[in-house]
Amino acid sequence: MSHRPARSIAKTGASPADYSTSAANLDGAGATPMMAQYIEIKAANTDCLLFYRMGDFYELFFEDAEIASRALGIVLTKRGKHGGADIPMCGVPVDRADDYLSRLIALGHRVAVCAQTEDAAEAKKRGPKSVVRREVVRLVTPGTITEDRLLDPARANLLLAVGRRKISDAAYAYGLAALDISTGRFSLSEVEAGELAAAIARHEPREIVLSETIHADPGLARLWREIPAAVTPLAQAELEPASAERRIREQFGVATLEGFGSFTRAEIAAAGAALLYIERTQVGARPILNPPTREASGETLSIDAATRANLELTRTLAGERAGSLLAAIDRTVSAGGTRLLAEHLAGPLTNLPAITRRHEAVTFLVNDPVLRAALREALARAPDLARALSRIGLGRGGPRDLAALRDGLAAASGIAERFFAQSVPLPDDLAALAQRLGQVDAELIEALRAALADDLPLNRRDGGFVREGYDAELDEVRLLGQDSRKVIAALQARYAEETGCRTLRIKHNNVLGYFIEVPQAVGESCLKGLMRDTFVHRQTMVDAMRFTSVELGELEARIAGASERALALEGEVFDALAVRVMAQAGIVAGVAEALAALDVAASHAELAVELDWTRPFVDEGLGFVVEGGRHPVVEAALRRSGEPFIANDCDLSGEGRGRIRLVTGPNMGGKSTFLRQNALIAVLAQMGAFVPARRVHLGVVDRLFSRVGAADDLARGHSTFMVEMVETAAILNQATRRSLVVLDEIGRGTATFDGLSIAWACLEHLHEQNGCRALFATHFHELTALSQRLSRLDNATLRVAEHKGEVVFLHEVVPGVAERSYGLQVARLAGLPASVVARAGSILKGLEKAERERPSRPRIDDLPLFASLAPPPPPEPPQERADALRLMLDGIDPDAMTPREAHEALYRLKAERSSEPSA
């Protein structure tokens, strides 16, 4: 049976043991000692590819080798036989292992890294056939990687654990623990079952761990299949509530969790599962984690997975960052700031005081361009403190991580000094950030500056990273090594003179060490001549001979000893510095968070100044007024091509309850852009950013729903229309008065009257039951008549002009109703053959003529489809109707009206006239 990555295992519900490779099932009794060791280690890690260290390579055998060979595109070879069959083998160099690991992790595989834990010399002491001891030192999985080369600096690498508790006979509450061991982030939350998918989508985890019981729940099976992350089930027996709380206490060295806040049983279960998984994958190494913070239910704007995809918040529908809202608004200059910006965008706030504090910080930086420029310059020089600290804490750090801490802390100290020098009081958020940045220990920065050289290697084992003059003993050992090399050069010159051979060289390789090399003829004379008592023969080559001498051997020992001693001393310096850093890990982590938050605020300010965005007014009401709103992503694309974006207003502020705007207009007229831009403005406002509009007044939105566009979901057996109905059902069942709903073309995926009736009923439900603020775009022009019955529904349309038979889309939203959809014009623009467009035009004219000439065409109100609707109010008497029309006309002053006011007046008169009863 073939090996499968963890994600596939989780999807089938099988345990990892079911996927043990053939190598693990082999009897090791007849194997070589090395292969027996491999089989034993592999048997304990059956759900992983095993990277087995042999010298300078990580080797893979049996089925692991076949999988890795295909996945990595490397040569599959063989090494000996086992059970009468060749053993497949492939390998990757140790110094390039990270590159191969990243590719395997991206494909969903888990990798067990097996390292040599003793020297070969120690192994030989146990016997000539003894194998070097090896152990798995860590498991590399998508949610637990820390290496800089494996991580995306702009994206959090979250591990999400799921726990649950029973709240009734048929219902559960689910706890979520979100951890990023590369930065120390650790947050807990609890959601109801109906919100679980949306909560997971907000976190965008790389890997999910959960109990086998939750994983096997039939009601959640589809969710685990659809999540774009590795899903790893854990044995239920390992996740007892008591052990979960104990793990949390041990991680943070506390006797009780009360100091961190109050957590539910589901949250504690999730946290325990996450810590168990980290303990297992890190093989005893304990990452630096921030104390857990609890996210209360309702603190962030609820956005389900379909809405996130439709609005392309952090990724486009194609999965790319470019073209998303995140890419359009990102002006951050640090990796930590970029990750925090994505986190804020994924979870906009609903807490009004917190939103206001963020806006005040941005406003302060907008109004002080000199300070903003200085901050951004300092932030751009600050390396990724959080990830450097994490690697140091796990024992995987290198000299460059210490340098990152040095430079990041120095930048933070400089920023704090600038803030404290401000003569104007800082807003609350900036004042709090300044206090955290001011906690930096200047002595730690100075110690790192004094110890680290200017040019640093990637790994500590390479040496040469301690500055000359920092450690006297190290300088002495280094000098010994340098002097020895000078002595070798002098010894080579003396031997050349004594032998009379100008081409004599003293060389070095890993097999012989230092040796003397002379041409063959000179070598023969050395064996018989004066040098026979000095030179000791080592090797004869085709055209050269190699020798050693007592003097050269002693010198080699001195050099080797000096090099090893120098590496040992540098290791001691590194460890001492790491201990000093970890003693202040909490402060350093807080500084990293403060730098990221400051970068996000400065990014918002820079964006606002650059693109002329304005501060939104946000309150607890139900208002939604946008004046001159623009779509941030579309506007950015048009700006690159030199085209202007047509701004539009939107008012969804109903009296006591939200207003619904029914938008009609031609295809390609801009309906979808108008719908999306208002949803995005709400997201931007509540994440704490300024918005692309002249003025915005927004009552806090609790849930955002968007049903825009259409696609099949063939994997689930769902047609376009089924997907549309599933998403619409979720909206109608969950939207509240405080929600914002954006719906586009509901009912278009089925027969005309079916679709019309569904769209009609949805509008009524939104108006009467949900009472939410909503934008509803449609091609069912019959629905516009509902504005006469539903008091909080009004009509809007996209303006179109025709010139010499050509249609011009003006992209301007105005009150009123579209006359037609201009489908034929769009078909022509799309490139349909002229004959097809002409034939379609002919058919359309015939259908329209037949419709006009139908002798007793019923009104839409009279169709059986709508027979259940409440009858309209009785009409006014003809004379009263006429008097009302005269009053309306008397109140109109054509000379004082703008074109738009005149247009609106005509619509009012027409609506009043059309409502008269027929004779």
Structure confidence at residue 125 (pLDDT): 79
Give the C-alpha separation, 183 to 387, whole Å. 5
Say whether pLDDT at 510 is over 80: no
Angstrom distance (rounded) from CA 273 to CA 157 = 17
Measured from the Cβ of residue 743, the count of other Cβ atoms closer than 10 Å reads 27
Domain 6-140 indexed as CATH 3.40.1170.10: yes
pLDDT of 515: 93
* Cα separation, 56 vs 237, whole angstroms: 40
Q: Is the pLDDT of residue 643 over 80?
A: yes
pLDDT attached to residue 855:
54
Give pTM, 2 decimals.
0.81
Q: Which two tokens stand for residue 727?
A: 């998403």
Q: Name 483's Cβ contacts closer than 8 Å, sequence gap at least 6.
A: none
pLDDT band at 757 (very low <50, low <70, confident <90, very high): confident
Residue 903's pLDDT is 64
**By mean pLDDT, which of 274-288, 404-418, 875-889 is the weakest?**
875-889
- Given this model, what pLDDT does residue 554 score? 84
What is the average pLDDT across 287-292?
A: 91
User: Which tens digits make up the pLDDT trace of 99-111?
Assistant: 899 899 888 899 9
Measured CA to CA in angstroms, residue 262 lies from 77, 171, 172, 292, 300 at distances of 57, 22, 19, 11, 19
Task: Quote the pLDDT of residue 598.
Answer: 97
The dotted CATH code for 612-641+672-744+752-866 is 3.40.50.300
What share of the chain has pLDDT > 70, as a percent? Answer: 87
Helix (H, G, I), strand (E, B) or coil at 504: coil
* Cα–Cα distances in angstroms (integers) from residue 188 to residues 60, 270, 293, in the given order: 39, 8, 6
Confidence of residue 286 (pLDDT cuts 50, 70, 90): confident
Question: Which of 19-23, 39-43, 782-786, 845-849 has the lowest average pLDDT?
Answer: 19-23
Give 438's contacts (C-beta < 8 A, 6+ positions apart).
Answer: 413, 416, 419, 420
Q: What 8-state DSSP symbol labels residue 914?
A: H
The set of residues, in sequence order, having a beta carbon less than 8 Å from that of 263 and lying 6+ positions away, is 188, 257, 271, 292, 294
Question: Minimum mean pLDDT among 582-591, 668-677, 844-853, 909-918: which range?
Answer: 909-918
Could you read off the pLDDT of 172-211 as tens digits, one per residue?
999 999 999 999 999 999 999 889 999 999 999 999 999 9
Higher pLDDT, 34 or 433: 433
Q: Reply yes or no on whether the pLDDT at 914 is more than 80.
A: no
Tell me if 742 sits within 8 A of 676, measured CB to CB. Answer: yes
Domain 152-297 part of CATH 3.30.420.110: yes
Residue 798: name the closest of 785, 811, 816, 787 by CA: 811
What pLDDT sits at residue 718?
Answer: 52
Mean pLDDT of the 248-272 span: 91
Fold annotation for 330-441+584-610: MutS, DNA mismatch repair protein; Chain A, domain 3 (1.10.1420)
Whether the CB-CB separation of 75 and 34 falls below 8 Å is answered with: no
* 128-185 pLDDT, tens digit each: 778 889 999 989 999 998 888 888 899 999 999 999 999 888 889 999 999 999 999 9
> Alpha helices, DSSP H only, in 500-631?
520-528, 550-583, 585-611
Cβ pair 580, 447 in contact under 8 A: yes
Distances (CA, A) of 594 to 265, 411, 559, 652, 842: 31, 12, 48, 37, 67
pLDDT at 508: 86
Residue 717 has pLDDT above 60, yes or no: no
What sign has the CA pseudo-torsion 251, 255, 260, 265? positive
Poorest-pLDDT segment among 38-52, 229-243, 245-259, 810-824:
810-824
Mean residue pLDDT of the chain comes to 85
Lowest mean pLDDT among 11-15, 79-83, 231-235, 422-426: 11-15
- 63 versus 918: the higher-pLDDT residue is 63
Is the pLDDT reported for residue 10 higher than 50? no
Q: Which two tokens stand for residue 460?
A: 């500590």
Whole-number pLDDT of residue 16: 36
Query: What pLDDT does residue 14 have?
Result: 32
**SS3 state of residue 738:** coil
What percent of the chain stands above pLDDT 90? 51
Give the pLDDT score at 79.
81
* Alpha-carbon span 274 to 269, nearest angstrom: 9
Task: Average the pLDDT over 835-855 and give the result.
Answer: 73
Q: Is the pLDDT of residue 907 over 80?
A: no
Contact 735, 702 (CB under 8 A): no
Matching residue, tokens 């029914």: 662
**Contact of 57 with 93, CB cutoff 8 Å:** yes
Q: What is the pLDDT of residue 837?
A: 75
Mean pLDDT over residues 508-526, rounded?
88
- In whole angstroms, how far apart are CA 549 and each of 516, 552, 556, 598, 803? 8, 5, 10, 65, 99
Strand ranges across the sheet with 703-707: 302-303, 703-707, 740-744, 773-777, 660-664, 793-803, 806-815
Where are the extended beta strands (E) located within 739-805?
A: 740-744, 773-777, 793-803
Known binding-site residue numbers: 665-672
Retrieve residue 518's tokens. 């002379």
Residue ranges for the known binding site for ATP are: 665-672
Q: Is the pLDDT of residue 792 over 80?
A: yes
Residue 908 has a pLDDT of 66
Query: CATH number of the domain at 477-552, please?
Result: 1.10.1420.10
Work out the pLDDT band at 862, boundaries 50, 70, 90: very low
Amino acid (one-letter) located at 790:
L
- Do the beta carbons of residue 313 and residue 171 sit within 8 Å? no
Give the residue, 723 or 257, on which the prediction is more confident.
257
In this prediction, residue 344 carries a pLDDT of 96
Whole-number pLDDT of residue 528: 83
Read off the pLDDT of each residue in 269-289 and give the average, rounded to a whole number.
91
pLDDT of res. 18 = 36
Lowest mean pLDDT among 354-358, 546-550, 796-800: 796-800
Of the candidates 310, 612, 569, the one whose C-alpha atom is nearest the C-alpha of residue 463 is 569
pLDDT score at 487: 81
Q: What is the pLDDT of residue 60?
A: 94
Average pLDDT over residues 773-795: 90
Spatial separation of the C-alpha atoms in residues 74 and 92, rounded to whole Å: 8
What would the mean pLDDT of 858-880 be, rounded to a whole number?
47
If DSSP states are collapsed to H, E and C, what string results for 341-380?
HHHHHHCCECCHHHHHHHHHHHHHHHHCHHHHHHHHHHHH
SS3 sequence of 376-435: HHHHHCCCCHHHHHHHHHCCCCCHHHHHHHHHHHHHHHHHHHHHHCCCCCCCHHHHHHHH
Determine the pLDDT at residue 467. Answer: 94
- The per-residue pLDDT for 874 is 47
